[in-house]
Amino acid sequence: MIMKRPIQNALRKAGTLLTVYYAYMLEYRAELLLWVLSGSLPFILMGVWGQAAQGGRFGLSSLDFIRYFLAAFLARQFTVVWVIWEFEREIVEGKLSFRLLQPLDPGWHHFASHVAERFARLPFAIALIALFFLLFPQAVWLPSLSSILLCILVVMLAFVLRFVTQYTFAMFAFWVERANAIESFWFLFYLFLSGLIAPVQIFPPALQKIVMWTPFPYMIDFPASILVGLPVNVGQGLGIMVGWIILFFGLNRYLWRRGLKRYSGMGA
């Protein structure tokens, strides 16, 4: 009656969670398009930097900037994370209780819904890129297969890193009423140091050195640079990403165990 094979069982759980949450995300067709568009800050910055680069002071051409911000847009699309708001709501409304009653760590529900949302968002993001290339054919470039594959791997890791950091901050919801304040503060650093506003390559060299040890540039700049073909240290980058993931994951599990002892299942 109960399935004995653990791998098959885990695959079935993953498959069911993904298909159901995919169906859930598709319920929000109109919202999906808006969510994709709300991530179009790189298109605005593309124009700004494209103009600024015409002076030739940054070591990157206008075309480099345009391609960089296109890649940044893509990287951002697949690393958007909102788990802290969801988790906070579950704590405040006591909905975490239902998740705790099931023999599956509640984190998997959030992870699966984020992954499913990526698939729901993909067609919109591709359509937007295609439209852009139609309007600016001179920006078209074809990355090598190896950099595409590497970029996919790095984007997946970047998503995991962004998810695990935000989910760790979410754990503070056990102690404070609004844990998302931590995320808002963190987001300030993310905005400037991830490469969303400007490529890390044009930062002053001293700042660049420090920034490369933080988790931020690996969420946008690193995958975008790989796709565009800007020089990056792949080995060091992957190592630092994995290091931060392990660190935050450990912290997350520690806070989870401590937090559960404080959980009062409010209103439920």
Give residues in contact with another protein (CB under 8 A): 1-3, 9, 12-13, 15-17, 20, 23-24, 27, 94-95, 97-98, 100-104, 260-265, 267-268
Q: How many CA atoms lie within 13 A of 251 on its CB side?
A: 16
Q: What is residue 17's three-state secondary structure?
A: helix
Is 174 or 218 the residue whose CB approaches another protein more closely? 174
**What is the nearest approach in angstroms of another protein to the Cβ of residue 27?**
5
Distance CA 51, CA 58 (A): 12
**What is the nearest approach in angstroms of another protein to the Cβ of residue 220?**
31
**What is the nearest approach in angstroms of another protein to the Cβ of residue 94?**
7
Distance CA 236, CA 244 (A): 12
Distance CA 195, CA 232 (A): 13
Q: Which residues neighbour 154 within 8 Å (Cβ) at sequence distance 6 or greater?
A: 218, 222, 223, 226, 237, 238, 241
Is 1 or 188 the residue whose CB approaches another protein more closely? 1
Is 112 or 211 the residue whose CB approaches another protein more closely? 112
Is 28 or 213 the residue whose CB approaches another protein more closely? 28
**What is the nearest approach in angstroms of another protein to the Cβ of residue 118?**
19
Q: Of 113, 127, 111, nearest to 22 (Cα)? A: 113
